[in-house]
Structure formats: structure tokens, C-alpha cells
């Protein structure tokens, strides 16, 4: 076993921080590719690449055209794209996923995971969410869905072959996220169960054929952090991959709750990595923690640099996402050279399809700045969880205001006059140490930055209200720019992560 994949050590986690849930992974040669759920955001299904399982780069989004992804405006947030499975077979990449807001289960293919991906193959005979693909030795394709049921599938046409049948009910409530593998002498069926909250876990069964019957592992669940004080919670929805050196690894989702009781996770469900060893033909999951023991071992990501976009490219970088759609006529970098231009379609982020371009918050502490020109409209910088839970600082000609939307409440938090013309808007997110059972996880301060770098805070807000524990749903925070009326231009966007001690 190489030093690069020593399983006696733990990994610095999460390996893909922020709102990147339901990871699915495959390896081709020395390259790993990983995809995640994207829910109501467009483009959909971020695609990542890595050579070491820890340092990941987003290389695209699989669903980047309206012909691939329909997200109707009358569908609530946390709908849309659920639980993709990524596989490589017969020289092609295969991606199967559920669009719960429109088309049901869909299948896409590509020769290059960076894209382009095909238009969807509809799967009307595949019922249920969290679909998986696996091929046996004679080329038969098996599709397994949450529940857990299974049907044979022609992946080229989308036609199902025969009737679906139940294969395993798991060991707890809500069996979901099935993945089927041939490893050694057995077929293994890996699932998540226990619900996607604190009771989440990973279990496995094995059989001699892809259709079972399946024998549960006597050590199930093979991974869960339920009823523990581990700083990583909600662990589940896993996928397995083997490295070139023969070692095995598991990617899975988890959250990092903060603050007092009950703990609030604000970044959404993130992607974690854990080593796996095999004992008596069963997988044993190794340590899953936030930090490796000293001295650090090779599987450790490098420092995160500041992330700045000057909008000098004709197309937006793949990290940028919008709510449900991104019509080119409403969002462009071509109208004013070197600026992002947004044309408003709704009066605020309360609307289901705002003119909004954001990126996932990936760090528990960060600073964000953007230079906005509101002389033709009104807009600014926002932290969004959904239509009813968002904070923003908004600029209009000669004035800046801070707003909070928390459920049915929308209120102005602070304001200040500013000179007419471009203004630098900013926010600072700072974790709060627990000082009692109701201490929030973090504080979000909004303000304006002067030319000399002085930051004037206009409003501070408790971050717990932009958390899943308060708002519900399956997503995490997205920080970005928006237009509420008219036309608003943004010269640059700077996201600076702060290192926590």
C-alpha cells in the first residue's frame, strides 16, 4: 500500500466543503470524478475531478442547458435534482438522476465528464428516487432505486426489461441511496437509512447475484454518528471507490453543526472521505474526522486561496449557480465588458426566479466583497437559503439598505447614504462560540467598504435562521449578487475564506 493511501490515518475533511450533498464517484485510470445533487439550482449537477481523492476541482456542470434541466418556478426550493449516480462503462460516462420537480428519472451520457453531456434519456419505467446503475458480466444493466427495488434497464433507450422487484428493506427507516457493486466473489448493495438528519447511517448487504438474495452485514450500520458528540453529523449517502494501489475509500455526505442546542448546520450537507478496509468480505470504515493526527500525512488539501472573479470571460465559471434558470438575456458578461450585468425579473429574492448569480458558501468563516453599480437599478449582495430565508445588502442610487427575510417576516436592519455611483458592498461571516443552549452558529455582518479598505457595518444578523434546522429543506447557503429592479452591474466578486484556529 502506497504512502498516498495509508488507511491507518484519517483525512482532513470535508474534502468538498459547502452545499455538495449526495456524492457519487467513479475512477478511470488515475483520475477520479465526482458529482453531487443540485436541487433547485441551475446549472445542475456539479462535476469534480481529482487525482488524490482530497484536492478536487470543479470541471463543469453536467446539466447546463435548458433542454437537459427543467425546474418549474411553481415548485418549492429543495425540489429539482436529487441524488445522481456517476459510472464509467464501455468507454462512456453514465449519469442517472431524479428530477423530482418535472421529469422523474433521467439518464445522461458523455465521453468527457467535463461535458458536453447528452440530452436526457427518459426513464418512465423507473419509479422512485436515488437511481443507481450497475452492469453484470453479460452486459445486463441493473437499475436500483430507494426503497429498495430493482429493475433491468436498457440504458441506450431507457426501456425497462421486466417488472421491478424488491431486493432489500434495510435495517432502519427510509432505505435510500442504493449503490450496487461487484467486488470479489459477491455483489454488494450499499444503502443509506435512518433519515437524512441526525439518525443517518450507512448499511450494506451482499449476495451471489446482482438481484440477490442479500445477506445484511452483521455490523450494520457500518457507519453512523447518531447519538455521538462527533463534530461531523448526519453521515450517510455513501459511495465506494478503489484506488489504483488497491486501497478502498468511501465518499459520503455529512454536516458540521455549530452553536448551542440543537446545533445548526449552515453550509448544507458536504462531501467527506473515509478509508475502508475489508475484513471477512465485509467493508470496515476507518476514521472520519475533521483533522488528521500530527504530523499531517500526504492526503491533505492545500490552503484555500481567495476566490476572485473579475468577469472578464465570455461565460461564467462553473461554480456560479442561479435559481431554477439563467436566461442569457437577463445575465451576461457581454453587455458591459469586464462586468456581470443582471436584469431584474422580480422585486426581491422572495420571488421564485430572481436575477441571482451565486456560489456556495464553503467555509464557516469568510469575507465577501463586490463592486456594484446601481445607477440603472437596485440590487446587491445576498446570502440565500430559500425564498423565505435570506439576508441581503442592497444598493440603490445614493442609498444602501440591509434586509432580513425570516419566514413570514421581512424587515430592514440598517441603512446608510452613499455617493451616487459604484459602491463596494460586503459581508463578514464569523462563527460564534457556544455561550448557552441557544447560541447561534455564526454572525453575519453586512456593510460597505471605503476606498481605504475601512469596512462599516450596517447590520448584524444571527446565522441560525439561514440553517436547515430552522428553514427545513436539503440545501445550504449560497452567496451571490442579484438585481431587484432595473439593471445592475457588478465589476468583481471576491470571496475570502478565513482560517479557523
120-129 residue pLDDT tens: 999 999 999 9
User: Which residue has cell 465521453?
Assistant: 111
How far, rounded to the nearest angstrom, does the alpha carbon of residue 376 sit from its chain's CA centroid? 34
Question: Which segments of 19-110 are extended strands (E)?
Answer: 24-28, 31-35, 41-42, 44-50, 57-63, 81-89, 92-99, 104-110
Question: What integer pLDDT is reported at residue 291 of this predicted model?
Answer: 67
Which residues of the chain, if any, have pLDDT below 70? 1-10, 291-306, 500-501
Residue 486, class by beta-carbon neighbours within 10 Å (0-12 exposed, 13-18 middle, 19+ buried)?
A: middle
Torsion of CA 445, 449, 454, 456, to 10 degrees: -40
In order, the DSSP letters of 316-362 are: --TT-BEES---TTTEESTTTTTSEEEE-SSSSTTSSS-EEEEEE--
Short-list 241, 223, 235, CA closest to 86:
241
DSSP H or E run through 470: helix 468-471
Pick the catalytic residue from 40, 64, 176, 373: 176
Of 22, 325, 353, 392, which residue is the catalytic one? 22
Closest CA to 496 of 426, 445, 404, 448: 426
Please state, for a pLDDT cut of 90, what percent of the chain lies above it. 91
Contacts (Cβ under 8 Å, ≥6 apart) of 57: 48, 49, 50
Closest of 43, 36, 29, 135 to residue 87, by C-alpha: 135
φ, ψ of residue 95 in degrees (nearest 5): -130, 115
Could you give the CA distance from residue 100 to residue 81 in angstroms, rounded to a whole number? 7
Domains by residue range for the chain, with CATH: 3-285 (2.115.10.20), 307-497 (2.60.120.200)
Residue-wise pLDDT for 246-264, tens only, equals: 999 999 999 999 999 999 9
Query: Is the CB of residue 421 less than 8 Å from the CB of residue 375?
Result: yes
- Residue of 51, 25, 492, 114 whose CA lies nearest to 302: 51
8 Å CB contact between 147 and 165: no
DSSP 76: P
- Residue 298: predicted pLDDT: 42
Closest CA to 393 of 422, 414, 363, 366: 414
Q: What is the pLDDT of residue 304?
A: 54
pLDDT of residue 10: 61
176 is catalytic: yes
Amino acid at each position: 500500500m502506497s504512502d498516498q493511501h495509508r488507511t491507518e490515518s484519517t483525512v482532513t475533511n470535508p474534502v468538498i466543503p459547502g452545499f455538495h450533498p449526495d456524492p457519487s464517484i467513479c475512477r478511470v485510470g488515475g483520475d477520479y470524478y465526482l458529482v453531487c445533487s443540485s436541487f433547485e439550482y441551475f446549472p445542475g449537477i456539479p462535476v469534480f475531478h481529482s487525482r488524490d481523492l482530497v484536492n478536487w476541482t470543479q470541471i463543469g456542470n453536467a446539466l447546463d442547458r435548458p433542454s437537459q434541466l427543467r425546474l418549474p418556478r411553481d415548485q418549492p426550493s429543495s425540489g429539482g435534482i436529487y441524488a445522481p449516480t456517476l459510472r464509467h462503462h464501455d468507454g462512456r460516462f453514465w449519469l442517472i438522476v431524479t428530477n423530482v420537480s418535472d421529469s422523474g428519472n433521467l439518464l445522461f451520457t458523455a465521453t468527457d465528464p467535463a461535458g458536453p453531456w447528452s440530452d436526457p434519456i427518459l426513464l418512465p419505467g423507473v419509479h422512485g428516487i436515488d437511481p443507481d446503475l450497475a452492469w453484470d458480466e453479460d452486459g445486463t444493466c441493473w437499475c436500483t432505486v430507494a426503497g429498495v427495488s430493482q429493475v433491468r434497464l436498457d440504458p441506450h433507450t431507457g426501456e425497462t426489461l421486466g417488472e421491478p422487484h424488491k431486493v432489500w428493506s434495510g435495517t432502519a427507516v427510509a432505505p435510500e441511496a442504493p449503490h450496487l457493486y461487484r467486488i470479489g466473489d459477491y455483489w454488494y448493495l450499499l444503502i443509506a437509512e435512518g433519515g437524512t438528519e441526525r439518525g443517518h447511517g450507512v448499511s450494506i448487504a451482499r449476495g451471489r447475484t446482482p438481484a440477490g438474495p442479500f445477506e445484511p452485514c452483521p455490523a450494520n450500520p457500518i457507519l453512523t454518528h447518531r447519538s455521538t458528540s462527533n463534530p461531523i453529523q448526519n453521515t450517510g449517502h455513501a459511495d465506494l471507490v478503489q484506488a489504483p494501489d488497491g486501497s478502498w475509500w468511501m465518499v459520503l455526505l455529512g454536516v458540521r453543526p455549530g452553536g448551542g442546542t440543537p446545533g445548526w448546520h449552515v453550509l448544507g450537507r458536504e462531501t467527506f472521505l473515509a478509508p475502508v478496509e475489508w475484513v471477512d468480505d465485509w467493508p470496515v470504515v476507518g476514521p472520519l474526522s475533521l483533522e488528521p493526527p500530527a504530523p499531517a500525512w500526504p492526503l491533505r488539501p492545500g490552503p484555500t486561496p481567495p476566490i476572485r472573479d473579475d468577469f472578464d470571460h465570455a461565460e461564467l465559471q462553473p461554480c456560479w449557480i442561479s435559481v431554477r434558470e439563467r436566461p442569457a438575456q437577463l445575465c451576461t458578461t457581454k453587455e458591459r465588458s469586464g462586468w456581470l450585468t443582471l436584469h431584474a425579473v422580480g422585486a426581491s429574492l422572495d420571488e421564485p426566479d430572481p436575477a441571482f448569480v451565486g456560489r456556495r458558501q464553503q467555509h464557516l468563516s469568510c469575507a465577501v466583497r463586490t463592486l456594484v453599480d446601481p445607477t440603472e437599478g437596485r440590487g446587491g449582495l445576498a446570502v440565500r437559503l430559500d425564498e423565505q430565508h435570506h439576508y441581503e445588502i442592497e444598493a440603490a442610487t445614493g442609498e444602501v439598505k440591509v434586509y432580513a427575510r425570516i419566514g413570514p417576516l421581512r424587515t430592514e436592519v440598517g441603512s446608510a447614504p452613499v455617493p451616487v455611483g459604484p459602491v463596494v458592498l460586503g459581508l463578514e461571516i464569523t462563527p460564534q462560540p457556544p455561550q448557552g443552549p441557544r447560541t447561534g452558529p455564526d454572525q453575519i455582518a453586512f456593510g460597505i467598504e471605503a476606498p481605504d479598505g475601512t469596512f462599516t457595518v450596517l447590520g448584524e444578523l444571527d446565522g441560525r435562521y439561514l440553517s436547515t434546522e430552522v428553514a427545513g429543506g436539503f440545501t445550504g447557503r449560497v452567496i451571490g449578487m442579484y438585481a431587484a429592479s432595473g439593471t445592475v452591474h457588478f465589476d468583481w466578486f471576491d470571496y475570502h475564506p478565513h482560517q479557523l484556529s
